[in-house]
Structure 1
Amino acid sequence: MNLESPKVTLDKSPEETFNFLSDVKNFESLMPENISKFEVLEDDKFLFALKGMPEIILKKKEAVPYNKIVLGAAGGKLDFSLTVDITRAEQDKSDVQLSFNGEFNAMMAMMIKGPISKFIETLVTNMKTAI
């Protein structure tokens, strides 16, 4: 299953955007209002839970300076990745888009498609005010 967030333009350079998102503790400021738990486990790993959902642990798997950050599931039953693509829009502005990729059976995909789409849209929308 592949899902993409809308692309947003931030009033920050790709470098500033990348540096903010490279620090996993900053993801707390991007989370939806219905977050029930957020905890930094290591420099590159954090745990979060939304009300009514299981806890998810994300670990930074890859970082390409100023262009891309890949977070992946760390443990648990589901294997997926969340990719942040950063491109220069113009001087001191950057475009950001999130992509969610995971292998799920049809039933699971049907159940999580809506909540995951809303989640990544919220993350990218909150970047406008958090970064």
Structure 2
Amino acid sequence: MNLESPKINVGKSPEDVCAFLADIKNFESLMPENISKFEVLSEDTFIFALKGMPEIVLKKKEVIPPNKIVLGAAGGKLDFSLVGHINQVDDNSSEVQLSFSGDFNPMMAMMIKSPITKFIETLATNIPSSI
């Protein structure tokens, strides 16, 4: 299953956006309002939960400054990744798009497609106001 957020314009350089996303503590400010838990476990791992959903542990897997950051599942039964793609528009602005990919059975994919789509859209749309 592959999902993408809309492309969001950010009034910061790709380097600034990448540095912001590479610091996992900053993901707390990007979370939806219905978050019930957010905890930094280490410098590259955090756990979060949305109301009515199981806890998810995300780990920073790769950072390719200033254009890409990859987060992935840290253990658990589901294997997925969340990738931030950062492209320069001009000297002081960037375009950010989040993409989610995971290998799920058809029943699971059907159940999580809508909540995951909303989730990555919320993360992306919160980036400009959080940096």
The answer to whether the superposition gives a TM-score over 0.5 is yes
Q: Percent identical across equivalent pairs?
A: 70
What is the CA–CA distance in structure 2 between the aligned matches of 1:104 and 1:50, rounded to whole Å? 20
Q: Which residue of 2 aligns with 1:34?
A: 34
Name structure 2 gaps, 5 residues minimum: none
How far apart, CA to CA, are the structure 2 residues paired with 1:50 and 1:40? 15
Runs of 4+ off more than 4 Å:
none
Correspondence list, 1:7-86, <5 A: 7-86=7-86
Q: TM-score, normalised by structure 1?
A: 0.99
Structure 1 residue 93: deviation in Å?
A: 0.2
Distance 2:73 2:99 in 1: 14
Q: Secondary structure at the residue paired with 1:54?
A: coil
**Which TM-score applies when normalising by structure 2?**
0.99
Alignment RMSD, CA only?
0.4
Counterpart AA for 1:11: G
- The CA deviation at 1:91 is 1.6
Report the AA paired with residue 128 of structure 2.
K
- Alignment: residue pair count: 131
Question: How far apart, CA to CA, are the structure 2 residues paired with 1:92 and 1:66?
Answer: 13
| Aligned counterpart, 2:120 | 120
Per-residue CA deviation, residues 91-111 of structure 1 (Å, 9 max, x unaligned), is: 210000000000000000000
